[in-house]
Each structure stands twice: as structure tokens, then as C-alpha cells.
């Protein structure tokens, strides 16, 4: 995390808090362009702090330090000491987040293992050597792609819970990409399909995103990914 981004985020968040002191529930007023710019900066910076996991600051002390700086007075602590405190805070925060992600990943892998073990008992499910599971919904009669091919597909991705996290159907247009530039579960699985086929894949986390799902995604560490994929074409 860059120190300049941390400083900018804290400054903007402080400014918002200071302006809100006289109004317990500040309301947005987007009558002018600068109103909209101000709201956008405040919202995005506030959301950024939330996403960084900063939720335990003591705001009375926070605002006391901010006001003293605005008044041009010396701080109660030396500048170097304050910088070191902030760096240590973010270091500890990062460690806590890593521990939490590791614990979530362990729980996710255990849950995924139970699901895959049970799912493998279904009569229509085939398990490959890598652990990839799939079932044929409709078998086509076209060619099969290789890993270096670019394919055109329609797909829907869901979690074990049934929550949909991605869908080309929802976007209203198919997706195209080289098979060797996607998660390994896709690379292996789509090569099993003929053009015109529709398969359902159950992808273990080690063939998906593992313990590091895309930021902002509803995919959790260690999660099984379920994809219904319709192979439309192999592109030149």
C-alpha cells in the first residue's frame, strides 16, 4: 500500500468528518458540478477506507489531531513517531487480514471438499485426473478446441450456494478468449467439449482462483466454481 494513497484517503475522510460535525446526517446536494465532484470524491474515498478494513479509529482523537494540524499547531507527537505508528498500524492490519483470509480459505477448502466428494457420486458426473468434475447437458458434433485456440462461449458462473457471480447471458453477448489465458479448470474443461456442446463444470479451487479470488468478487477463498458453458465456436 503506498503511503501517498493512505495520506490522501485519510485527509479526504477527515475533511468529510469535519464538515459533517454540525450536521449529524449530512445530505447530498448535487446542484452544481463541484457538488457532484465533492460527493464523488467523498464517496469513493470513504468506500476505499472501508475496503481497506479501517473501521476502528477513535474519531475524537482523529479529529483533534486533524484540527490541530489545520490550525498550524505542533502535534502532541513527533512527526516521525506518528509516521511509524501509522506504518505499524497498517502492518498489523495487513497481518490480521492475511490471517483471516488464511482461515477463510481453510474453511472454504473443507466445505468444497465435502461438496465435491458428494457431487462425484452422481451418476452423470465425470471426474478427471486433475479433480475437475463435469456433466454433459448437451453434446455437440463440431470440432474440439486446443489450449492455444480462441473460443466463443456463453457461460454462467455460480457458487455452491447458487449465487451467480458472472454470466455472459446476463450481459447479452457471448465471450471470446484464448483458452490458455483463463483459469486452468476452463482450459482443461473446454477442450473436452465439441462445438455445439453445453457442459456443466464443477471446478475445485486449485483449478480456479485458489485462495486469492478477484478483488470485489463474491467468490470466497477456496471456493468451488460451477460453470455452465456453451461452446459456440472456435475462432481463427
How confident is the model at residue 23, as a pLDDT? 45
Domain ranges, residue 202: 114-235
Q: Are 66 and 155 found together in one domain?
A: no
Find out whether 184 and 191 touch, Cβ atoms under 8 Å.
no
User: Alpha-carbon distance 25 to 17, whole Å?
Assistant: 11
Pair (158, 222) in one structural domain? yes
Do 174 and 222 share a domain, yes or no?
A: yes
**Residue of 156, 236, 138 whose CA lies nearest to 196:** 138
Is 77's pLDDT higher than 90? no
Which pLDDT score, from 0 to 100, does residue 72 have? 84
What CA–CA distances, in Å, run from 10 to 13, 123, 183?
A: 5, 56, 37
CB-side neighbour CA atoms (13 Å) of 192: 21
Please check whether residues 125 and 226 belong to one and the same domain: yes
Instruction: Kindly state whether residues 211 and 118 are assigned to the same domain.
Output: yes
Could you tell me the three cell numbers for 154? 456463453
Q: Which residue has the higher pLDDT, 23 or 177?
A: 177
Task: Say if residues 137 and 130 touch (Cβ distance below 8 Å).
Answer: no
- Structurally, the chain folds into a number of domains equal to 2
Task: Give the lowest-confidence range in 35-39, 183-187, 199-203.
Answer: 35-39
| Helix 79-119 × helix 3-19 angle, to 10° | 100
Domain end residue (candidates: 57, 76, 95): 76
The pTM assigned to this predicted structure is: 0.65
Pick 15 or 154 by higher pLDDT. 154
147: domain CATH number is 3.10.50.40
Is residue 170 situated within a structural domain?
yes
Residues 143 and 60 placed together within one structural domain of the fold: no
Amino acid at each position: 500500500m503506498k503511503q501517498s494513497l493512505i495520506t490522501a484517503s485519510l485527509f479526504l475522510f477527515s475533511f468529510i468528518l469535519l464538515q459533517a460535525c454540525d450536521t449529524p446526517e449530512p445530505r447530498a446536494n448535487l446542484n452544481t458540478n463541484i457538488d457532484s465532484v465533492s460527493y464523488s470524491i467523498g464517496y469513493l474515498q470513504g468506500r476505499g477506507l472501508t475496503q481497506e478494513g479501517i473501521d476502528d479509529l477513535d474519531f475524537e482523537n482523529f479529529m483533534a489531531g486533524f484540527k490541530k494540524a489545520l490550525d498550524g499547531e505542533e502535534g502532541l507527537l513527533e512527526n516521525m513517531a506518528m509516521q511509524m505508528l501509522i506504518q505499524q498500524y497498517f502492518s498489523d492490519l495487513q497481518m490480521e487480514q492475511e490471517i483471516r483470509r488464511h482461515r477463510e480459505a481453510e474453511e472454504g477448502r473443507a466445505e468444497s471438499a465435502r461438496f465435491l466428494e458428494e457431487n462425484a457420486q452422481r451418476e452423470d458426473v465425470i471426474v478427471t485426473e486433475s479433480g475437475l468434475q463435469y456433466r454433459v447437458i448437451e453434446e455437440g458434433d463440431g470440432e474440439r478446441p486446443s489450449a492455444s485456440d480462441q473460443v466463443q462461449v456463453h457461460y454462467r458462473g455460480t457458487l455452491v450456494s447458487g449465487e451467480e457471480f458472472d454470466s455472459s447471458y446476463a450481459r447479452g453477448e457471448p465471450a471470446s478468449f484464448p483458452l490458455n489465458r483463463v483459469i486452468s479448470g476452463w482450459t482443461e474443461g473446454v477442450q473436452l467439449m465439441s462445438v455445439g456442446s453445453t457442459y456443466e463444470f464443477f471446478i475445485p479451487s486449485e483449478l480456479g482462483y485458489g485462495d486469492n479470488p478477484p478483488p470485489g468478487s463474491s467468490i470466497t477463498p477456496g471456493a468451488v466454481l460451477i460453470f455452465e458453458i456453451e461452446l459456440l465456436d472456435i475462432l481463427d
